[in-house]
Amino acid sequence: MELLFLALFCLHILKTEAVVGHWCYRSQKCEQPQCEDPSQWHNIYVACKGDRQSPVNIVTRNVVYDKSLKPLAFEGYDVRGSVDWTLENNGHTVKVALDTSPKVGGGGLGVKYKAVEFHLHWGVPGEPRNFPGSEHSIDGEKYPMELHVVHIREDASNVAEAKKSPDGLAVLAFFIKADEENKNYETLLSALKDIKYKGDIVKVEPLPLSSLLPPEEDLGRYYRYQGSLTSPDCYQGVIWTVFEKPVELSLLQLSQFAELHFDGKNSTPMMENFRPVQPLNGREVLWSGAGVVLPTARPLLLLALAMACTLSSLAH
């Protein structure tokens, strides 16, 4: 009976204008059976089958500590721009174009990169714990949502020009977990009702980009690897920085993304808009380990504490 209901539902919302060659997420296949889901993206964009694809599962026991990965230097992240932000439902996610261009450098980056946009990926907004939607995972565990701040090389005028370089883009990735309410996100979340459908655009008051991120003092610990964009064209020239410290949103705040749709009225709700993890293919994932006891040093520290306790008890 459930299968029959699903089949009837698919027939009800099937769109005859679905075009072969249009990329989509797996959750859109019911509505657009002819679209190319992540396992088929390479049929349209050959780079999607490359050997440096993103996202990846980060296995913490295999990461390589790199002492050169110092905290990044953020420029203009704490500045509220003078131009309104443009929020867009682009049929795949919520995208926010940035006009001011905060910059990031240091932290092992060869050049400075300027921010051009940010967007999000999520699972099922109403059930973020049961159906998480972050793209990267840590030891196989996913978070409810993931925020990507996309940067291009400072010397490039746009994304297309940046892609001509082998290291043209740098993306900062932040996990989002279900926890406390985050009032800094209210401006964005309250605007979601105005961009329910594909192509909808709304202007909102700009915020300092740093207000959407964890405090800067918590951003010293991160993972770094060479990868790609996580949606077509899957350009392989992205320096990824995946931060350990997550952003917090409440369950109610996360559920507000349920208002969005992939297309027009009565179309599939926008959910599970993430790409599955890709093979590392021999790539190293580096770890900054800033200001922490290294994993190899912890047993020695525990042993020293145990010996101190033993000697103390003997003295008595």
Backbone angle region of 131, left / alpha / beta, with phi > 0 → left and psi within -120 to 50 → alpha: beta
Cβ–Cβ under 8 Å, residues 99 and 116: no
Catalogue the active-site residues: 92
Short-list 152, 139, 180, CA closest to 285: 139
Cβ–Cβ under 8 Å, residues 269 and 277: no
217, HSE (Cβ side, Cα atoms, 13 Å): 0
Per the structure block, which two tokens stand in for 28?
Answer: 């859109």
Pairing of strands 57-58, 137-138: parallel
Q: Return the ∠ at Cα 98 (arms to 142 and 119), rounded to 5°.
A: 20
Q: Is 73 exposed, middle or buried (0-12, 13-18, 19+ CB in 10 A)?
A: middle
Longest alpha-carbon distance in the chain:
84
Q: Is 81 exposed, middle or buried (0-12, 13-18, 19+ CB in 10 A)?
A: middle
Write down the H helix ranges in 102-206: 159-162, 186-191
Write down the H helix ranges in the chain: 2-13, 159-162, 186-191, 251-255, 298-315
Short-list 86, 44, 39, CA closest to 233: 44
3-state secondary structure of 230: coil
